[in-house]
Structure 1
Amino acid sequence: MPGSDGSWTDAREILDVLFECDTLEKAADLLYRVRITSGIEVSSFISGVHVSVTYRSQRDPPETTVDSFEPKTGRLLAKVTCSREETVRDAVEAAKAAFPAWSKTTRAQRSQHLQRVAQLIQEHAELFAVWESIDQGKTIERARVEVERAVANFSYFSTYILHEQTTSRMVDGVAITYEHRSPAGLFALISPWNMPLYLLTWKIAPCLAFGCTAVAKPSEATSMTAFLLTRIFELAHLPPGVINIIFGDGQTGDALVRAKGINGISFTGSTSTGVAIRRATVENISKKLSLELGGKNPTVVFADAMSSAYRVRSISIAAMAAFENAGQICLCGSRIYVEKSVYADFLRQFVKHVTKRYTLRKRVGAVASREHYNKIRGYLQMAADQGATFELGGVPPELAHSAAELMGNNEAADDDDNDPLADGYWIAPTILTNVKEDSDLQRHEIFGPVVTVTPFSGGEDEAIRLANDSDYGLAAVLLTADGARTQRVGEQLDAGLVWVNSWLVRELGTPFGGMKQSGIGREGGDYSRDTFTNVRTIHLPLLYA
Structure 2
Amino acid sequence: MLPSTSDSHLDELWSCDTLDKASSFITSHSSPFLLHNFVGGMYSAPHNSSASPSQHITSFEPKTGRPIYTLPCTQTDAVEEAIRAAKSAFPSWSKTTRAERSAILRRVSELLQENRELFAIWESIDQGKTLERARIEVDRAISNFSYFSTFILHEQTAARMVDGVALTYEHRSPAGVFALISPWNMPLYLLTWKIAPCLAFGCTAVAKPSEITSMTAFLLGGIFQRAGVPPGVINIIFGDGATTGAALVASPLINGVSFTGGTQTGIAIRRLTAHQIGKHLSLELGGKNPTLVFADSMEPSVRDRTIRVAAMAAFENQGEICLCGSRIYVEKSVYSDFVREFTAYVKQKYVLRETVGAVASLQHYDKIRKYLELAVEQKATFHLGSAPPALSENEAQGYWIEPTILTEVAKDSAIQIDEIFGPVVTITPFDSEQEAVQLANDSEYGLAAILLTTDGARMRRVGEQLEAGLVWVNCWLVRELGTPFGGMKNSGTGREGGEHSRDVFTVLRTLHLPAY
- Contact 2:362–2:393, Cα closer than 8 Å, also in 1: no
**Superposition deviation, residue 52 in structure 1:** 3.2
Letter in 2 for 1:433: T
1:494 aligns with 2:486: no
- Contact 2:49–2:73, Cα closer than 8 Å, also in 1: no
Letter in 2 for 1:482: D
Number of aligned residue pairs: give it.
Answer: 513
- Contact 1:63–1:83, Cα closer than 8 Å, also in 2: no
- Contact 1:56–1:62, Cα closer than 8 Å, also in 2: no
Letter in 1 for 2:37: S
**Superposition deviation, residue 40 in structure 1:** 2.1
2:239 maps to 248
1:103 aligns with 2:94: yes
| Deviation string, structure 1 residues 391-430 (Cα, Å, up to 9, x no partner) | 1100011113427xxxxxxxxx6xxxxxxxxx10000000
Equivalent in 17, 20, 35 of residue 25 of structure 1: 20
2:208 maps to 217
1:168 maps to 159
Equivalent in 457, 475, 487 of residue 514 of structure 1: 487
2:143 maps to 152
- Contact 1:56–1:63, Cα closer than 8 Å, also in 2: no
- Contact 2:48–2:75, Cα closer than 8 Å, also in 1: no
- Contact 1:476–1:493, Cα closer than 8 Å, also in 2: yes
Q: In 2, distance between residues paired with 1:118 and 1:44? A: 22
Percentage of matched positions with identical amino acids: 66
1:417 maps to none
1:445 maps to 419
1:337 aligns with 2:329: yes
**Superposition deviation, residue 41 in structure 1:** 0.9
Segments of structure 2 that go 5 or more residues without pairing to the other structure are none
Equivalent in 1, 6, 9 of residue 10 of structure 1: 6
| Deviation string, structure 1 residues 451-496 (Cα, Å, up to 9, x no partner) | 0000001x21111000000000000000000011000000000000
TM-score using structure 1 length: 0.93
1:40 aligns with 2:26: no
Q: In 1, distance between residues paired with 2:85 and 2:394? A: 41
| Deviation string, structure 1 residues 315-355 (Cα, Å, up to 9, x no partner) | 00000000000000000000000000000010111000000
Task: Please report the RMSD computed on the Cα atoms of aligned residues, expressed in angstroms.
Answer: 1.3
2:307 maps to 315
**Superposition deviation, residue 121 in structure 1:** 0.4
**Superposition deviation, residue 47 in structure 1:** 0.3
1:132 aligns with 2:129: no
Equivalent in 46, 67, 84 of residue 76 of structure 1: 67
**Superposition deviation, residue 8 in structure 1:** 9.5
Q: After superposition, where does 1:275-294 map in structure 2 within 5 Å?
A: 275-294=267-286
Q: In 1, distance between residues paired with 2:394 and 2:50? A: 33
Letter in 2 for 1:142: R
2:403 maps to 429
Q: In 1, distance between residues paired with 2:69 and 2:103? A: 33
- Contact 1:8–1:50, Cα closer than 8 Å, also in 2: no
Partner-residue secondary structure (3-state), 1:267: strand
| Deviation string, structure 1 residues 229-288 (Cα, Å, up to 9, x no partner) | 000011011100000000001211011111120000000000000000000000011100
TM-score using structure 2 length: 0.98
Segments of structure 1 that go 5 or more residues without pairing to the other structure are 1-6, 404-412, 414-422
- Contact 1:292–1:514, Cα closer than 8 Å, also in 2: yes
Letter in 1 for 2:36: S
1:227 aligns with 2:218: yes
**Superposition deviation, residue 62 in structure 1:** 8.7
1:475 maps to 448
Q: In 2, distance between residues paired with 1:69 and 1:331? A: 25
**Superposition deviation, residue 9 in structure 1:** 3.7
**Superposition deviation, residue 220 in structure 1:** 0.4
**Superposition deviation, residue 64 in structure 1:** 2.2
Q: In 1, distance between residues paired with 2:376 and 2:55? A: 40
Partner-residue secondary structure (3-state), 1:180: strand
Q: In 2, distance between residues paired with 1:388 and 1:502? A: 29
Equivalent in 50, 54, 79 of residue 43 of structure 2: 50
| Deviation string, structure 1 residues 29-68 (Cα, Å, up to 9, x no partner) | 101111x1x2121110110121237x23587x89821110
**Superposition deviation, residue 444 in structure 1:** 0.2
- Contact 2:49–2:72, Cα closer than 8 Å, also in 1: no
- Contact 1:8–1:51, Cα closer than 8 Å, also in 2: no
Letter in 1 for 2:408: N
Q: In 2, distance between residues paired with 1:315 and 1:477? A: 12
Letter in 1 for 2:487: G
- Contact 2:382–2:406, Cα closer than 8 Å, also in 1: yes
